[in-house]
Amino acid sequence: MPYVSVGRISIARGLLLLLAATMIAVSFYLTYHYFYLHFPKSMDASSFCDFSAYWNCDVATLSPLASLAGIPSSAFGIVVGWLLLLAGCFATPKREAAAYLLALLNALGCVGLLIYSLGVLGGLCPGCVLYYCCSLLILMLFVLNSSARPGLGGWLEVAVACVSGLVIVGLVAYQAGEERSKVDEVAQKLISEVEASPNFEALPAFSPFQLARATEKFADAPLRVTIFSDFQCPICRVFAEMLPKIISHFQGRLNMQYIFYPLDNSCNGQIRETFHPLACEASYVAACAGDNFRTIHDELYANQDKFSPQWFQQLANRYDLSVCYHGDKPAQLVSEMLAAGDAVGVKATPTILVNGKKLEGLLPLKMLLMIMEKELERSK
Label residue 310 exposed, middle or buried (CB < 10 Å: 0-12, 13-18, 19+): exposed
Say if residue 57 is in the same domain as residue 148: yes
Q: What is the pLDDT of residue 204?
A: 63
Say if residue 166 is in the same domain as residue 226: no
Say if residue 244 is in the same domain as residue 169: no
- pLDDT at 112 exceeding the cut of 90: yes
- CATH number of residue 316's parent domain: 3.40.30.10
* Mean pLDDT, the chain, whole residue set: 88
Domain termination residue (choose one: 149, 181, 213): 181
What is the spatial distance between Cα 273 and Cα 275, in angstroms, rounded to a whole number? 6
Comparing 33-47, 99-113, 258-272, the range with the smallest average pLDDT is 33-47
Say if residue 174 is in the same domain as residue 188: no
Domain range spanning residue 345?
184-378
- CATH number of residue 102's parent domain: 1.20.1440.130
Q: What is the pLDDT of residue 60?
A: 87
Write the pLDDT tens digit of every residue in 28-40.
999 999 998 888 8
Cis peptide bond N-terminal to 208, omega within 30: no
Q: What is the pLDDT of residue 351?
A: 93
Question: What's this model's pTM, rounded to 2 decimal places?
Answer: 0.79
Q: What is the pLDDT of residue 47?
A: 62
Per-residue HEC secondary structure of 219-265 comes to HHCCEEEEEEECCCCHHHHHHHHHHHHHHHHCCCCEEEEEEECCCCC
Say if residue 322 is in the same domain as residue 371: yes
Q: What is the pLDDT of residue 43?
A: 66
Neighbour-count burial for 258-288, b at 16+ CB within 10 Å, e otherwise: bbbbbbbbebbeebeeebbbbbbbbbbbbbb
Higher pLDDT, 266 or 190: 266
Say if residue 208 is in the same domain as residue 174: no
Q: Is 262 left (phi over 0), alpha (psi -120 to 50) or beta?
A: beta
Over range 91-100, report the average pLDDT: 88
% of the chain surpassing 70 pLDDT:
94
Over range 269-295, report the average pLDDT: 92
Nearest CA-CA partner of 368 in 273, 199, 213, 227: 227
What is the spatial distance between Cα 238 and Cα 267, in angstroms, rounded to a whole number? 24
Residues in CB range of 93: below 8 A, 6 or more apart: 148
Q: What is the pLDDT of residue 46?
A: 56
Comparing 54-68, 161-175, 272-286, 337-351, the range with the smallest average pLDDT is 54-68
Rg (CA), the chain: 25
Write the pLDDT tens digit of every residue in 169-210.
999 998 988 888 887 788 788 888 878 888 887 766 678 999
Domain termination residue (choose one: 181, 215, 238): 181
Say if residue 237 is in the same domain as residue 151: no
Say if residue 101 is in the same domain as residue 225: no
Domain termination residue (choose one: 181, 214, 229): 181
Q: What is the pLDDT of residue 58?
A: 84
Say if residue 63 is in the same domain as residue 159: yes
What is the spatial distance between Cα 368 and Cα 366, in angstroms, rounded to a whole number? 5
Residue count of the chain, please give it: 380
Alpha helices in the chain (DSSP H): 11-38, 57-61, 74-89, 93-116, 126-145, 155-181, 183-196, 234-249, 279-287, 293-302, 309-318, 322-325, 329-344, 365-378
Comparing 29-33, 48-52, 302-306, the range with the smallest average pLDDT is 48-52
Q: What is the pLDDT of residue 8?
A: 41
Helix, strand or coil, per DSSP, at residue 289: coil
What is the spatial distance between Cα 138 and Cα 132, in angstroms, rounded to a whole number? 10
Over range 349-354, report the average pLDDT: 93
Domain count, the chain: 2
Over range 316-343, report the average pLDDT: 94
Say if residue 200 is in the same domain as residue 130: no
Helical axes 309-318 vs 293-302, angle rounded to 10°: 150
What is the spatial distance between Cα 141 and Cα 148, in angstroms, rounded to a whole number? 12
Say if residue 173 is in the same domain as residue 200: no
Higher pLDDT, 45 or 360: 360
Q: What is the pLDDT of residue 3?
A: 40
% of the chain surpassing 90 pLDDT:
56
Say if residue 14 is in the same domain as residue 99: yes
